[in-house]
Amino acid sequence: IAAAASGAFAQDFPAGKPITIVVPFAAGGPTDRVARDLAEAMRKPLDGVSIVVDNTAGAGSTIGNAKVARAKNDGYTLLLTHVGMATTPVLYRKLPYNYETDFEYLGMINDVPMTVIGKPQLEANNFKELRDWIGKNSGKVNLGNAGIGSASHLCGLLLQSELKAEMTTVPYKGTAPAIADLLGGQIDLLCDQTTNTTSQIEAKKVKPYAVTTLKRLTTPALKDIPTADESGLKGFQVTIWHGLYAPKGTPPAVLKKINDALKVALKDPDFIKKEEGLGAVVVTDKRVEPAEHKKFVQAEVARFGPVIKAAGVYAD
Protein backbone atom coordinates (compact mmCIF):
# COMPACT_ATOMS: atom_id res chain seq x y z
CA ILE A 1 0.00 0.00 0.00
CA ALA A 2 2.87 2.34 0.92
CA ALA A 3 4.36 1.96 -2.57
CA ALA A 4 1.00 2.62 -4.16
CA ALA A 5 0.47 5.59 -1.87
CA SER A 6 3.87 7.07 -2.70
CA GLY A 7 3.06 6.35 -6.38
CA ALA A 8 -0.25 8.16 -6.08
CA PHE A 9 1.38 10.98 -4.07
CA ALA A 10 4.09 11.26 -6.69
CA GLN A 11 1.51 11.50 -9.48
CA ASP A 12 -0.13 14.67 -8.19
CA PHE A 13 3.14 16.30 -6.97
CA PRO A 14 3.42 19.17 -6.04
CA ALA A 15 -0.32 19.17 -5.12
CA GLY A 16 -0.19 22.89 -4.29
CA LYS A 17 2.41 22.50 -1.52
CA PRO A 18 5.28 25.06 -1.65
CA ILE A 19 8.67 23.84 -2.85
CA THR A 20 11.87 25.11 -1.18
CA ILE A 21 15.08 25.59 -3.14
CA VAL A 22 18.05 25.73 -0.77
CA VAL A 23 20.83 28.08 -1.93
CA PRO A 24 24.04 27.45 0.04
CA PHE A 25 25.17 31.09 -0.16
CA ALA A 26 23.93 34.44 1.18
CA ALA A 27 20.95 36.17 -0.44
CA GLY A 28 21.73 38.67 -3.18
CA GLY A 29 24.69 36.76 -4.63
CA PRO A 30 25.06 35.00 -8.00
CA THR A 31 23.82 31.59 -6.85
CA ASP A 32 20.81 33.24 -5.24
CA ARG A 33 20.16 35.18 -8.46
CA VAL A 34 20.05 32.01 -10.55
CA ALA A 35 17.76 30.31 -8.02
CA ARG A 36 15.24 33.15 -7.90
CA ASP A 37 15.12 33.53 -11.68
CA LEU A 38 14.81 29.76 -12.17
CA ALA A 39 12.10 29.48 -9.48
CA GLU A 40 10.09 32.11 -11.38
CA ALA A 41 10.43 30.12 -14.62
CA MET A 42 9.61 26.74 -13.00
CA ARG A 43 6.40 27.85 -11.29
CA LYS A 44 4.17 27.59 -14.37
CA PRO A 45 5.27 24.07 -15.39
CA LEU A 46 4.85 23.05 -11.73
CA ASP A 47 1.15 23.95 -11.76
CA GLY A 48 1.74 27.47 -10.37
CA VAL A 49 3.04 26.21 -7.03
CA SER A 50 4.98 28.68 -4.92
CA ILE A 51 8.73 28.08 -4.89
CA VAL A 52 10.68 29.73 -2.07
CA VAL A 53 14.46 30.23 -1.80
CA ASP A 54 16.11 29.32 1.50
CA ASN A 55 19.62 30.79 1.85
CA THR A 56 21.55 28.41 4.09
CA ALA A 57 25.11 29.75 3.78
CA GLY A 58 28.48 28.88 5.29
CA ALA A 59 31.56 26.67 4.95
CA GLY A 60 31.84 27.25 1.21
CA SER A 61 28.33 25.84 0.50
CA THR A 62 28.80 22.58 2.42
CA ILE A 63 26.29 23.55 5.16
CA GLY A 64 23.47 24.11 2.66
CA ASN A 65 24.44 20.99 0.68
CA ALA A 66 24.35 18.87 3.87
CA LYS A 67 20.96 20.29 4.83
CA VAL A 68 19.41 19.01 1.59
CA ALA A 69 21.22 15.66 1.78
CA ARG A 70 19.42 15.13 5.11
CA ALA A 71 16.05 16.64 4.06
CA LYS A 72 12.85 14.64 3.56
CA ASN A 73 13.05 12.99 0.11
CA ASP A 74 9.55 14.04 -0.95
CA GLY A 75 10.52 16.55 -3.65
CA TYR A 76 9.63 19.62 -1.58
CA THR A 77 13.23 20.45 -0.65
CA LEU A 78 15.70 20.92 -3.50
CA LEU A 79 19.29 22.20 -3.74
CA LEU A 80 20.57 24.65 -6.33
CA THR A 81 24.33 24.97 -6.30
CA HIS A 82 27.28 25.29 -8.63
CA VAL A 83 30.80 24.00 -9.23
CA GLY A 84 31.13 23.72 -5.45
CA MET A 85 29.38 20.34 -5.74
CA ALA A 86 32.57 19.13 -7.45
CA THR A 87 35.25 21.13 -5.60
CA THR A 88 34.07 20.44 -2.03
CA PRO A 89 34.61 16.64 -2.22
CA VAL A 90 38.26 17.42 -2.98
CA LEU A 91 38.71 20.39 -0.61
CA TYR A 92 36.94 18.92 2.44
CA ARG A 93 38.32 15.60 3.49
CA LYS A 94 35.48 15.08 6.01
CA LEU A 95 32.19 16.10 4.36
CA PRO A 96 28.81 15.45 6.07
CA TYR A 97 27.47 14.17 2.75
CA ASN A 98 28.55 12.11 -0.24
CA TYR A 99 28.02 14.00 -3.49
CA GLU A 100 27.43 10.78 -5.44
CA THR A 101 25.13 8.81 -3.11
CA ASP A 102 23.22 11.38 -1.04
CA PHE A 103 21.60 13.28 -3.92
CA GLU A 104 19.37 12.74 -6.91
CA TYR A 105 20.64 14.76 -9.88
CA LEU A 106 17.91 16.84 -11.51
CA GLY A 107 19.76 18.45 -14.41
CA MET A 108 22.04 21.42 -15.08
CA ILE A 109 20.98 25.02 -15.57
CA ASN A 110 23.61 27.38 -16.96
CA ASP A 111 27.28 28.31 -17.39
CA VAL A 112 28.35 31.64 -15.92
CA PRO A 113 31.58 33.49 -16.71
CA MET A 114 33.57 35.26 -14.02
CA THR A 115 35.13 38.68 -13.85
CA VAL A 116 38.23 39.85 -12.00
CA ILE A 117 37.17 43.14 -10.39
CA GLY A 118 38.88 45.64 -8.10
CA LYS A 119 37.77 48.19 -5.54
CA PRO A 120 37.02 51.61 -7.08
CA GLN A 121 40.09 53.18 -5.40
CA LEU A 122 42.52 50.69 -6.92
CA GLU A 123 45.21 52.60 -8.85
CA ALA A 124 45.67 49.90 -11.57
CA ASN A 125 43.69 50.73 -14.71
CA ASN A 126 44.18 47.51 -16.69
CA PHE A 127 45.22 43.92 -16.17
CA LYS A 128 48.89 44.58 -16.81
CA GLU A 129 48.97 47.40 -14.22
CA LEU A 130 47.01 45.15 -11.85
CA ARG A 131 49.56 42.37 -12.31
CA ASP A 132 52.41 44.80 -11.50
CA TRP A 133 50.52 46.20 -8.51
CA ILE A 134 49.89 42.69 -7.14
CA GLY A 135 53.58 41.87 -7.59
CA LYS A 136 54.64 45.02 -5.75
CA ASN A 137 52.16 44.40 -2.92
CA SER A 138 52.69 40.66 -2.60
CA GLY A 139 51.17 39.35 0.64
CA LYS A 140 49.30 42.59 1.28
CA VAL A 141 46.52 42.22 -1.32
CA ASN A 142 43.11 41.30 0.14
CA LEU A 143 41.17 38.95 -2.16
CA GLY A 144 37.56 38.25 -1.19
CA ASN A 145 35.72 34.97 -1.72
CA ALA A 146 32.65 33.08 -0.54
CA GLY A 147 34.52 30.50 1.48
CA ILE A 148 36.63 27.45 0.64
CA GLY A 149 34.73 25.55 -2.07
CA SER A 150 33.09 28.60 -3.59
CA ALA A 151 33.44 29.63 -7.23
CA SER A 152 35.17 32.84 -6.17
CA HIS A 153 37.60 30.74 -4.11
CA LEU A 154 38.34 28.46 -7.08
CA CYS A 155 38.88 31.43 -9.40
CA GLY A 156 41.08 33.13 -6.81
CA LEU A 157 43.14 29.95 -6.40
CA LEU A 158 43.72 29.66 -10.13
CA LEU A 159 44.51 33.39 -10.43
CA GLN A 160 47.10 33.25 -7.64
CA SER A 161 48.79 30.21 -9.10
CA GLU A 162 48.84 31.77 -12.60
CA LEU A 163 50.20 35.08 -11.29
CA LYS A 164 52.51 33.27 -8.83
CA ALA A 165 51.18 35.75 -6.27
CA GLU A 166 50.36 35.32 -2.61
CA MET A 167 47.16 37.12 -1.58
CA THR A 168 45.34 37.27 1.73
CA THR A 169 41.93 35.70 1.14
CA VAL A 170 38.95 37.08 3.05
CA PRO A 171 36.02 34.62 3.19
CA TYR A 172 32.38 35.74 3.27
CA LYS A 173 29.07 33.84 3.36
CA GLY A 174 28.58 34.72 -0.29
CA THR A 175 29.86 37.21 -2.85
CA ALA A 176 27.02 39.62 -2.11
CA PRO A 177 28.65 40.61 1.22
CA ALA A 178 32.07 40.34 -0.44
CA ILE A 179 31.21 42.82 -3.19
CA ALA A 180 29.72 45.19 -0.57
CA ASP A 181 33.13 45.27 1.14
CA LEU A 182 34.87 45.72 -2.23
CA LEU A 183 32.72 48.78 -2.91
CA GLY A 184 33.68 50.05 0.55
CA GLY A 185 37.36 49.42 -0.13
CA GLN A 186 37.73 46.89 2.73
CA ILE A 187 39.04 44.35 0.23
CA ASP A 188 41.03 44.98 -2.95
CA LEU A 189 40.01 42.26 -5.40
CA LEU A 190 37.25 39.75 -6.09
CA CYS A 191 36.78 37.12 -8.74
CA ASP A 192 33.02 36.84 -9.08
CA GLN A 193 30.37 35.66 -11.48
CA THR A 194 28.91 38.06 -14.03
CA THR A 195 25.43 37.38 -12.59
CA ASN A 196 26.61 39.44 -9.61
CA THR A 197 29.11 41.86 -11.14
CA THR A 198 27.36 43.03 -14.33
CA SER A 199 25.25 45.67 -12.57
CA GLN A 200 28.24 46.99 -10.56
CA ILE A 201 30.37 47.17 -13.72
CA GLU A 202 27.55 48.88 -15.63
CA ALA A 203 27.26 51.43 -12.79
CA LYS A 204 31.05 51.86 -12.90
CA LYS A 205 31.19 51.13 -9.17
CA VAL A 206 34.02 48.59 -9.49
CA LYS A 207 37.08 48.25 -11.74
CA PRO A 208 36.76 45.35 -14.21
CA TYR A 209 40.16 43.90 -15.19
CA ALA A 210 39.33 40.70 -17.06
CA VAL A 211 36.68 38.16 -17.91
CA THR A 212 37.52 34.48 -17.42
CA THR A 213 36.19 33.14 -20.74
CA LEU A 214 38.47 32.47 -23.71
CA LYS A 215 36.31 34.69 -25.94
CA ARG A 216 35.12 38.18 -25.00
CA LEU A 217 31.52 38.35 -23.77
CA THR A 218 28.75 39.89 -25.91
CA THR A 219 26.68 41.38 -23.06
CA PRO A 220 26.86 45.16 -23.74
CA ALA A 221 28.21 46.06 -20.27
CA LEU A 222 30.90 43.33 -20.49
CA LYS A 223 31.92 43.26 -24.16
CA ASP A 224 34.85 45.70 -23.77
CA ILE A 225 36.49 43.85 -20.89
CA PRO A 226 39.57 41.93 -22.09
CA THR A 227 39.78 38.22 -21.42
CA ALA A 228 42.43 36.94 -18.99
CA ASP A 229 43.74 34.89 -21.93
CA GLU A 230 44.41 37.95 -24.11
CA SER A 231 45.83 39.76 -21.07
CA GLY A 232 48.63 37.25 -20.79
CA LEU A 233 47.11 34.38 -18.78
CA LYS A 234 47.12 32.03 -21.77
CA GLY A 235 44.24 29.56 -21.64
CA PHE A 236 42.92 30.93 -18.33
CA GLN A 237 39.24 29.94 -18.23
CA VAL A 238 36.78 29.59 -15.35
CA THR A 239 33.05 29.22 -16.06
CA ILE A 240 30.69 28.32 -13.25
CA TRP A 241 27.98 25.76 -13.93
CA HIS A 242 24.85 25.39 -11.80
CA GLY A 243 22.69 22.31 -11.20
CA LEU A 244 19.59 21.20 -9.34
CA TYR A 245 19.48 18.33 -6.80
CA ALA A 246 17.06 16.49 -4.52
CA PRO A 247 17.72 14.20 -1.55
CA LYS A 248 18.44 10.56 -2.42
CA GLY A 249 15.32 8.41 -2.61
CA THR A 250 12.95 11.11 -3.89
CA PRO A 251 10.29 9.16 -5.89
CA PRO A 252 11.16 8.81 -9.60
CA ALA A 253 7.80 10.25 -10.71
CA VAL A 254 8.55 13.36 -8.64
CA LEU A 255 12.07 13.63 -10.07
CA LYS A 256 10.66 13.38 -13.57
CA LYS A 257 8.09 16.10 -12.92
CA ILE A 258 10.81 18.45 -11.62
CA ASN A 259 13.21 17.67 -14.47
CA ASP A 260 10.41 18.22 -17.00
CA ALA A 261 9.66 21.60 -15.36
CA LEU A 262 13.38 22.47 -15.49
CA LYS A 263 13.43 21.74 -19.23
CA VAL A 264 10.44 24.04 -19.76
CA ALA A 265 12.10 26.77 -17.67
CA LEU A 266 15.36 26.57 -19.64
CA LYS A 267 13.35 27.28 -22.81
CA ASP A 268 11.44 30.19 -21.22
CA PRO A 269 12.31 33.34 -23.23
CA ASP A 270 12.13 35.57 -20.13
CA PHE A 271 14.52 33.32 -18.22
CA ILE A 272 16.92 33.14 -21.16
CA LYS A 273 16.80 36.93 -21.58
CA LYS A 274 17.54 37.49 -17.88
CA GLU A 275 20.46 35.05 -17.99
CA GLU A 276 21.97 36.50 -21.17
CA GLY A 277 21.62 40.04 -19.77
CA LEU A 278 23.92 38.88 -16.95
CA GLY A 279 26.46 37.18 -19.21
CA ALA A 280 25.23 33.66 -18.39
CA VAL A 281 24.49 30.94 -20.95
CA VAL A 282 21.53 28.60 -20.37
CA VAL A 283 22.26 24.90 -20.81
CA THR A 284 20.88 23.61 -24.13
CA ASP A 285 22.79 20.33 -24.31
CA LYS A 286 22.37 16.90 -22.74
CA ARG A 287 23.61 18.10 -19.33
CA VAL A 288 19.95 18.91 -18.59
CA GLU A 289 19.45 15.10 -18.37
CA PRO A 290 19.98 13.78 -14.81
CA ALA A 291 22.30 10.94 -15.85
CA GLU A 292 24.46 13.33 -17.91
CA HIS A 293 24.42 15.88 -15.08
CA LYS A 294 25.80 13.28 -12.66
CA LYS A 295 28.45 12.11 -15.15
CA PHE A 296 29.53 15.72 -15.70
CA VAL A 297 29.95 16.40 -11.97
CA GLN A 298 31.91 13.16 -11.49
CA ALA A 299 34.25 14.22 -14.32
CA GLU A 300 34.67 17.67 -12.74
CA VAL A 301 35.63 16.09 -9.41
CA ALA A 302 38.28 14.07 -11.25
CA ARG A 303 39.46 17.25 -13.03
CA PHE A 304 39.69 19.39 -9.88
CA GLY A 305 41.44 16.73 -7.82
CA PRO A 306 44.96 17.32 -9.15
CA VAL A 307 44.45 21.11 -9.46
CA ILE A 308 43.44 21.46 -5.81
CA LYS A 309 46.02 18.94 -4.56
CA ALA A 310 48.69 20.95 -6.43
CA ALA A 311 47.44 24.14 -4.77
CA GLY A 312 47.60 22.27 -1.46
CA VAL A 313 44.55 24.06 -0.14
CA TYR A 314 42.30 21.93 2.01
CA ALA A 315 39.46 23.16 4.18
CA ASP A 316 40.02 20.64 6.97
Cα–Cα–Cα angle for 110, 175, 135, rounded to 5 degrees: 105
Regarding 251 and contact with ligand MLT (CB under 6 A), the answer is: no
Which of 30, 89, 113, 208 touches ligand MLT by CB under 6 A?
30
Site track for ligand MLT across 190-229, x = CB under 6 A:
--xx------------------------------------
Q: Which is nearer to ligand MLT, 51 or 80 (CB)?
A: 80
DSSP string, 152-193: HHHHHHHHHHHHT---EEEE-SSHHHHHHHHHTTSSSEEEEE
Torsion of CA 251, 96, 54, 72, to 10 degrees: 30
Note the Cα 209 to chain centre separation in Å. 21
The window from 22-30, 37-45, 245-253, 288-296 that contacts ligand MLT (CB under 6 A) reads 22-30
- Residue 198 burial by CB count (10 A; 0-12/13-18/19+): exposed, middle or buried? buried
Amino acid at 173: K
Decide if 84 contacts 145 (C-beta within 8 A). Answer: no
Regarding 29 and contact with ligand MLT (CB under 6 A), the answer is: yes
The window from 1-9, 26-34, 230-238, 244-252 that contacts ligand MLT (CB under 6 A) reads 26-34
Burial profile 89-107: b = 16 or more Cβ within 10 angstroms, e = fewer:
bbbbeebebebeebbbbbb
Quick one: which H or E segment has residue 127? helix 127-136
Which of 10, 14, 19, 31 touches ligand MLT by CB under 6 A?
31
Which of 88, 169, 175, 197 touches ligand MLT by CB under 6 A?
175
In angstroms, what is the minimal distance from the CB of 115 to ligand MLT?
11
In angstroms, what is the minimal distance from the CB of 118 to ligand MLT?
17
Amino acid at 236: F
Which of 91, 116, 146, 315 touches ligand MLT by CB under 6 A?
146
The window from 11-19, 144-152, 200-208, 266-274 that contacts ligand MLT (CB under 6 A) reads 144-152
Regarding 187 and contact with ligand MLT (CB under 6 A), the answer is: no
Regarding 169 and contact with ligand MLT (CB under 6 A), the answer is: no
What is the contact surface with ligand MLT in residues (CB under 6 A)? 25-26, 29-31, 84, 146, 150-152, 174-176, 192-193
